[in-house]
Amino acid sequence: MAKRDKTNYIAYADIARIMAAFAVVLLHVAGARLIIEDIGSVNFFRAAVFDCAMRWSVPLFIMLSGMLFLNKNKKLNIRVLYTKNILRLVTAFLFWSLVYNMYTSYLEYRHIGVAFFEALKNVHNGAMHLWFIFVIIGLYIVMPFIKRMCENMTKREAECFILLSMLVTFLPKTLSSFDIFAPFIQYIGKFEINYTAGYVGLFVAGWYIDRFEHSKKEKSIAYLMGLAGFLYMLTATVYFSIKRGVIADEFMSFKSLSAFLMAIAVMMMCKSVFSKKNFSRRAKSDLAFYSKYTFGVYLIHEMFLNISAGKGWFLLPDMPYIGIVLEAVIIFAISMIATGIISIFPFGKYIS
């Protein structure tokens, strides 16, 4: 993850990062409830609300990385990027992949030695949430070229690039469940505009929001589009889940247009609300302190969630709105503390 330049501190970026980390925990807690509830039940709908409402979290993490690394004041050393930064991500992936694999293998074999051997054998297959590390590594690899492109990009050019990314990656993903749009998706693919594909659009969008000023009209449009994205995601997920009898999770994809629009709205809101506030030195220090642990929270929180779900520890099952939030707060706090403890050790910075 990118480190901040202490001489050019951006408070709203740390606030957004802490928000994103908590949102990831909240959506995973809600997701754990979602899969055990009867599809179409009131509790299923309540869990779906939280799950869908937090789908901006991971895209926002990517946008914040783009904002910090593509910033013109951020000096980029390719050697350091390709060794130190990427090496840290690879180390974190291998360590936590081993930990999660050992946990699941031990539950199956109930033998430490066998669990370790099985975990080591499958270390390349990490826990589901570790896919994010591969995305960041990929973005880091192409970052020097994206940064050079952004250096001379105007606001209008950046908007065109982001719209193109939406058209190539995020819109097709959103429409892929509807057969009527299959010809359109196939036709778009023929253009092979791969340099805007994947999460590059989010990476550039984070830089764009920070780099340029935005009018009240632009902000209002972003907020309305974000709200529309959430409502579409929730409606489509619930409707098609009931229709099919299985969870229609493709509408909740982080590559959906809905998630993209929600992430843009949240980051735009964070900048609008917090960028012009004068934070005290103590407040800045506290924000920076908690922000630096958010990557560790992302990596470790799933372990505590697995333990909780495995034991059937669902708080206030009859009051899911309160229970989901309370459980997320507890897991977030424990994960933050655990990350702080890990960071004390010399190797801690490589795995958290």
Inside any domain, residue 4: no
How does pLDDT run across 180-200, given as a tens digit for each residue?
887 877 777 777 777 677 899
First to last CA, the chain: 10
Q: Which uninterrupted H or E stretch holds 28?
A: helix 11-34
Q: Which domain holds residue 286?
A: 10-351
Inside any domain, residue 3: no
Q: What is the dihedral of CA 229, 131, 195, 151, to 10 degrees?
A: 90
Q: What is the pLDDT of residue 317?
A: 64
Q: What is the pLDDT of residue 315?
A: 61
d(CA 74, CA 65): 12
User: What is the count of structural domains for the chain?
Assistant: 1
Average the pLDDT over each of 118-127, 229-238, 281-290, 315-324 and give the range with the smallest value. Answer: 315-324
Inside any domain, residue 126: yes
Structure tokens at 84: 């130190």
Backbone angles phi, psi at 217, to 5 degrees: -65, -45
Is the pLDDT reported for residue 229 higher than 80? yes
With CA atoms as reference, report the closest residue to 163 among 230, 228, 208, 214.
Answer: 208
Inside any domain, residue 2: no
How does pLDDT run across 27-51, given as a tens digit for each residue?
999 998 899 889 999 989 999 999 9
Inside any domain, residue 85: yes
d(CA 268, CA 246): 34
d(CA 257, CA 172): 8
8 A C-beta contact, residue 272 and residue 219: yes
Confidence of residue 124 (pLDDT cuts 50, 70, 90): confident
d(CA 49, CA 45): 6
Is the pLDDT reported for residue 108 higher than 80? no
Q: How many CB atoms neighbour CB 184 within 10 A?
A: 13
d(CA 165, CA 171): 9
Q: What is the pLDDT of residue 2?
A: 52
- The CA-based angle 176-179-180, given to 5 degrees, is 105
Q: What is the pLDDT of residue 90?
A: 94
| Of 347 and 14, more confident | 14
Is the pLDDT reported for residue 295 higher than 90? yes
pTM: 0.91
Is the pLDDT reported for residue 5 higher than 80? no
Inside any domain, residue 5: no
Is the pLDDT reported for residue 7 higher than 80? no
Q: What is the pLDDT of residue 116?
A: 82
- The CA-based angle 185-191-196, given to 5 degrees, is 90
Residue 279 has what DSSP assignment? -
Q: What is the pLDDT of residue 318?
A: 65
Computed over every residue of the chain, the mean pLDDT equals 89
Inside any domain, residue 142: yes
Q: What is the pLDDT of residue 93?
A: 94
Helices and strands of the chain, counted as H and E runs = 17, 0
Structure tokens at 299: 């990596």
Largest CA distance in the chain: 61
Give the SS3 label for residue 17: helix
Inside any domain, residue 277: yes
d(CA 103, CA 303): 9
